[in-house]
Structure 1
Amino acid sequence: MTTLVPDPIHLHRIDLDRNMRRFYEISVQPTLFGGTSLVRTWGRIGTAGQSLVETFDHPIDTTAAFARLERTKRRRGYRDATQAALP
């Protein structure tokens, strides 16, 4: 059984009035033992940022966590990196 793995996303939140230039990346990676990992990286644009890896036994759980995080970040003002650069 194959499951649909979401494409990685790269989001930006830029607010020049508040001197805010942040990025947030989310991707899904397979593990060696048949599970999947949700890899999150965030920080100020231009830095390496911080990373967090969450491992799940079932790909469905990983996909649900991915969707929840993406929805939360978009509600907080993050946009796709290509759109964030536009005025």
Structure 2
Amino acid sequence: MTVNITFISNDNKLVSAPDNSNLLRVSLREKGGIPFKCGGGLCGTCKCRIEQGLDNTDEVKAKERKHLSDEDLAAGFRMACQTFVKGDIAVSW
């Protein structure tokens, strides 16, 4: 099964990826454009907003809670390096 990921901030670039793919890794592989530095949940630079399909992402990790407030999470913000995609989403940053 594959999922569709739309990178809104990159001219609405649409890519397909295997189900349960890591969002940052897909962005790197497909030139999606999500900014990053460490890729391991330490720096917070890959903060992005799931504009559509937030329910199609996995559970929030402890590393994300260090960078994102409850309000951020409620508004759809996630750390791309910690987020796995289980269905179609649209993401901006």
State the TM-score, normalized to the length of structure 2: 0.22
Q: Rg bigger for which structure?
A: 1
TM-score w.r.t. structure 1 length? 0.23
1 or 2 for the larger relative contact order (CA 8 Å, sep ≥6)? 2
